[in-house]
Chains A and B, each alone.
Chain A
Amino acid sequence: MTLQTERELFEACMDLAAGQRTAWLEAHCGDAGLRERILRLLRAHDSAERSGSLEQSPIVTARRIGGFDLLERIGEGAMGEVWLAEQTAPVRRRVAVKIVKAGTGSREVIARFELERQALAMMSHPHIAHIVEAGTTDDGRPYFAMEYVPGIPLTKYCDQHRLGIDERLALFVLVCEAVQHAHHKGVIHRDLKPGNLLVTEIDGKPSPKVIDFGIAKAVALDHQPSRAHTMIGHLIGTPEYMSPEQAQLSPLDVDTRADVYSLGVVLHELLTGALPFKTSDPNATPATLVQELLTHDPAAPSVRVRVSAPEPQQSAANRGLTTRQLAARLAGDLDWIVLKALAKDRNRRYGSPAELAADIRRHLVDEPVVAGPPSTLYRMRKFAARHRLPLTLAAGVFIAAIVFGAMMAWQAHQLAWQRDEARFQAQRAEASSEFMSLMLEEVGPEGRPLSPLELVDKGVQLLDRRYGADPQFAAHMLMQMSRRYMDLGNTEKSSQVLARALAIAREVDDPDLLADVECTTVRAALDANQHESAKEHLEGARAALARLPDPPVVTEVDCLRAEADMAENDRDFATAETNLRKAQQLLEQSQNTRGLLYHAVLTDLGGVLFRTSRFREALALNYVTAEALDRNGRGGTLGRVTVATNRASLLMRLGEVSAAEAAAAEAIRRAQRLRGNQPATPQQAVAYGIVLNRLDRQDEARKLLTAARDQARELGGEFWVIVAEYHLARSLMLAGKYAEARSMLDQVRAAWSANATGNRDRLADLYRTQAEIELLQGNIEQARSSIDASLAEFGYPQAAPAPFLSAALTTAAQVYAKAGQLEQAESFALAALRLSESIAREPRQSADVGEALLVVASVKRTRGDKSAAADYARRSVEALSNSLGQQHRLTRDADELLRLAR
């Protein structure tokens, strides 16, 4: 038999049904052996058709992904594998690498995996296995490498080491905090169980780590919602630890409280050694389990340990107690806490792991737990326990009862806020992180890093494409985009995007959204020097806010900030400050001080203090803001960089120029750490440039400011282009290039005059610069008229002190001295001195004070008062050398003056 024969027979039978094949072969082929062979071939054909054998050519993979050598596969889930790998550089260590399997599922699944990965990369917590590296393989499989945790499950650890109840609770609280951190970043674990809570020992002390924030979510979203009993094959997560809603609902509806439930199960196990639902039946199918989960109420832990735990004596022993002692210990608070965490109705559970942890902490310090009964007796018992009062003290009990009433009411209110706020933030965070990751997935031509502007542009396009059907979400995201544009200083794009958001908000007619968008638009309009437009939008915001009976804190705060912005623009600093302080208070009261909004408010407040020349207060606030950011784990953010840059400006205003230089350099370093090799933002470069000018390093300043201006132009940030040019003009002046300086100043002046009110201080300073140029070129008359204009613009002498005023007064003194009006000159000089002394933190460190002293000394000497001149000159030398350095031109001038005056 030849291949040809086989083939002919095969092809003849190929399309027949199985039963018919045998018949046909018997009719057409006499050789039994050959018939057998053909049937085998046909079977192979059928099987190959079904399983697609050989359809895909082999894929070759390296055992190397990213910077890791894969060692062995240590786990496999429905969607991916986990490998133990070794990182060789920069350090040698073991990591766990999780990869989506090749050929798995849809693009959707992979996209969701990306989303998880993105969110996970944003987490940074000592008790969460952190991400070491993340990326995509060549054929588009996402992977991430995370800290490998060589630990044992929490429950096992506690049993092995015979940890008592208090110690177990302490470890559990750490776990709750970790999960809470993840919730803040918009990541729900969905599969919390002891196997994912590994304990290692650090310096002999146990340290739990949450691992495997997994692809459970990625998978879950791919499935249709279905009833529990038909979901057997698709149960994601471990049934014993799964919340009722996970077993039932579409996974999209599952929120952070599912994790709370799972934590409740773990807590139950930690305390009693048993699971809340009986799983002793080895024949129980997942469906049975789920049935029980949905209908039966678990017994209280204290009852469970006495009655139906698998091995009651062993469990107690593992906790260092007898069965009776254990039951007694668990009775009361711990029973209530566990049952509350396991509530089937998620609205009755703790709203977040933080709440659960908080109640446990209260229990540990004998405070009433929220899960407990509302009875006064309970509260009083706790009070007594806490303060070790004998309960028989009648008067004490009476007072205690009053105090409690007040405290409990306040506490309940706090919790209500927290729950809503947390959920709201969690939803927001989750949606944002999904969007962000989708955006990053869509962009990125191979190899080339996208410019910030391109990235934001893409984001806007993506919003249009994908979220047209979900206007609220789109509007919120558009506002995020507009803020990014504002970060880049591109007010035009920011406005365009906001206009779109506003259109959406109006269409949907959601007052909360409307208020939000209008407020954001106010700020953008002010930045673009569009005062009228800003006013209109502020009206719009007020109207929208009025329609909300109980506005969310965040919205109120946004509106207060917008009011403050407007007031500031109108130079009504008092109103601005009032509004901002109110905003600060609102956030503090609602315990929302860990978010970026709080820091934005503090920064705004700092700005107002700055503009009313209360630099000391502003600097103090700056330190507070920085510290708060660092404490909340935001030490590495852009916001933090802004705070660092502001510190430099503040130090400048206090006259501490050398300190300002160090601060500006640090701000740039922070920015570089954040953004890699990208150049410093225009804001920072300008801040640094200003300092360099003052230190007479005008060549460096010029290079820096030119680059800043060009960069700002590229980013579309007109505002900073102009500011950069202004200081560039000053550099040119200091370098003696007067003509260039003048023409640049004219351009800047034209630009700022468009919003003369808002830019008053800046214009005043510009006139001062013009006066300086005139003075340097010996044009006394023009110098005088310029400096007069400057002082008039400042509103001197009536108006409140403004930044740069003392500089203007010093210049005025110089001009008038040159013009021969010595008395006037002296009075200006002394005014400058008084002002700068009142502003400075430490007058002997202030360059402003030093310069004022120098001018006073000079005038005094011209008027013949040598001893006073010498005195002032000496003080001037001290202040100038401290703030500007020994070699600075002004310091040497002061030295010279001192010498001559002796």
Chain B
Amino acid sequence: MVDGDVTRLLGAAGAGDRAALEQLYLQVYDELRRLAESRLRRERAGHTLQPTALVNEAYLRLNPEASTWENRRHFFGAAAQAMRRILVDHARQKLADKRDGGARVTLADLNVQAPEEDLDVLAVSDALDVLAKEDPRLSEVVSLRFFAGMSVEETARALDVSPITIKRDWAFARAWLCERIGVSGTSSA
């Protein structure tokens, strides 16, 4: 993965090139996946992934020219989406595993645990899809905060708004999601 590549894609995406945006997303996704797998392969300790750490590491590795907020936003947006996809895929895989009772190594063999027991990543993801139809920006805030694990400040920087705006967005979006999910785990869809 060549540095210039991502920068170029970012620039193009910033200029509105949809194809470039998709390509960017794919590359970021690839990188994240590779990082996650290599982390998990490391022998010694129990393997855990913190999405924040991964995203940041991917950012460093891809090293895009992120001077404009547009570029940053696209990058982190793509990363958050990618992370979300990884997490959701594996939550699905885990459900499937429970049914076949299979046991494998690598990314396919993950438990996705949200810290509070009652939250289901899949439910959040589904609910987020619905929210995105009504208000894409809110959905992006949630994506960055929850799936990419970014802080209020980081999210504010990425979207080039003030932290207070993000806080307000977050308060509402969170309430909306929790209400929808019913805060008892399963998706109400």
Contact = CB atoms under 8 A, between A and B. Distances in A.
Given A11-B172, A63-B103, A63-B110, A40 B48 contact: no
Given A3-B135, A69-B103, A103-B115, A60 B36 contact: yes
A412 interface: no
A413 B123 CA distance: 71
Given A57-B145, A58-B115, A64-B46, 17 more contacts: A3-B134, A48-B183, A52-B116, A54-B145, A54-B177, A59-B48, A60-B48, A60-B51, A60-B86, A60-B111, A61-B48, A63-B103, A64-B105, A66-B44, A137-B48, A138-B42, A143-B46
A779 interface: no
A3 B134 CA distance: 7
Interface of B: 36, 39-40, 42-52, 86-87, 90, 103, 105, 109-116, 119, 121, 124, 134-135, 138, 142, 145-149, 168, 171-172, 174-179, 183
Contacts of A47: 178, 183
16 contacts: A3-B138, A41-B172, A44-B178, A47-B178, A57-B52, A58-B112, A58-B147, A60-B111, A64-B40, A64-B109, A66-B45, A66-B46, A137-B47, A138-B46, A138-B48, A143-B46
A135 interface: yes
A47 B177 CA distance: 12
A10 interface: yes
Nearest to B54: A60
A275 to B, nearest CB: 35
Give 8 nearest A-B pairs by CB, closest first.
A137-B46, A65-B46, A57-B149, A45-B175, A62-B47, A44-B179, A44-B178, A60-B49
A64 B45 CA distance: 9
Given A10-B172, A62-B109, A54 B44 contact: no
Contacts of A506: none
A563 to B, nearest CB: 48
A190 to B, nearest CB: 26
A105 to B, nearest CB: 13
A58 B113 contact: yes
A467 B69 CA distance: 49
Given A45-B175, A137-B45, A61 B146 contact: no
Contact of B119 (A4, A54, A141): A54
Contacts of B111: 60-63
Contacts of A64: 40, 46-47, 105, 109
A309 interface: no
Contacts of A2: 134
A56 interface: yes
Interface in A65-89: 65-67, 69
A11 B45 contact: no
A42 interface: yes
A65 B146 contact: no
Contacts of A99: 46
A136 interface: yes
Contacts of B110: 60-63
Interface of A: 2-4, 6-7, 10-11, 14, 40-45, 47-48, 51-54, 56-67, 69, 99, 102-103, 135-139, 141, 143
Nearest to A136: B45
A770 B109 CA distance: 71
A60 B90 contact: yes
B148 A63 contact: no
Contacts of B105: 62, 64
Q: Which of B47, B114, B134 has the most CB of A within 10 A?
A: B47
* Max chain A Cβ within 10 angstroms of own Cβ: one of B36, B105, B113, B115: B115
A138 B179 CA distance: 34
A65 B145 CA distance: 28
Nearest to A143: B46
A139 B121 CA distance: 20
A196 B134 CA distance: 57
A247 B42 CA distance: 44
A3 B132 CA distance: 11
A62 B119 CA distance: 19
Contacts of B179: 40-41, 43-44
Contacts of B174: 44-45, 48, 53-54
A59 B46 contact: no
B171 A14 contact: yes
A7 B165 CA distance: 13
Nearest to A14: B171
Given A58-B87, A60-B36, A62-B109, A51 B115 contact: no
B47 A61 contact: yes
A53 B177 CA distance: 10
Contacts of B168: 11
A42 B52 CA distance: 29
B177 to A, nearest CB: 7
A106 B28 CA distance: 35
Contact of B46 (A42, A52, A62, A103): A62
A44 B145 CA distance: 18
A59 B147 CA distance: 10
A62 B44 contact: no
Nearest to B138: A3
A59 B91 CA distance: 11
A75 B172 CA distance: 38
B180 to A, nearest CB: 9
A859 to B, nearest CB: 67
A56 B124 CA distance: 13
B147 A54 contact: no
A409 B178 CA distance: 75
A99 B176 CA distance: 35
A488 B112 CA distance: 47
Given A53-B119, A60-B111, A42 B175 contact: yes
Given A41-B175, A44-B183, A57-B147, A139 B48 contact: yes
A63 B109 contact: yes
Nearest to B42: A138
A515 to B, nearest CB: 44
Contacts of B113: 58-61, 102
Nearest to B51: A57
A206 B87 CA distance: 48
A41 B50 CA distance: 29
Nearest to B178: A44
A291 B37 CA distance: 55
B64 to A, nearest CB: 22
Residue among B36, B50, B105, B121 having the largest count of chain A Cβ atoms under 10 Å: B50
A102 to B, nearest CB: 7
A53 B87 contact: no
A54 B146 contact: yes
B124 A54 contact: yes
A144 to B, nearest CB: 11
Contacts of B116: 51-53
A67 B87 CA distance: 24
Contacts of B42: 138
Contacts of B177: 54
Given A52-B116, A102-B115, A62 B148 contact: no
A11 B168 CA distance: 8
Contacts of A58: 51, 87, 112-115, 121, 146-147
A236 to B, nearest CB: 23
B50 A59 contact: yes
Nearest to A141: B46
A43 B52 CA distance: 29
A332 to B, nearest CB: 54
Contacts of A60: 36, 48-49, 51, 86-87, 90, 110-113
A250 B108 CA distance: 47
A67 B105 CA distance: 12
Contacts of A48: 174-175, 178, 183
Given A63-B103, A63-B111, A102-B113, A138 B171 contact: no
Contacts of A103: 115
Nearest to B148: A57
**Which of B52, B111, B113, B175 has the most chain A CB atoms inside 10 A of its CB?**
B175
Contacts of B112: 58, 60
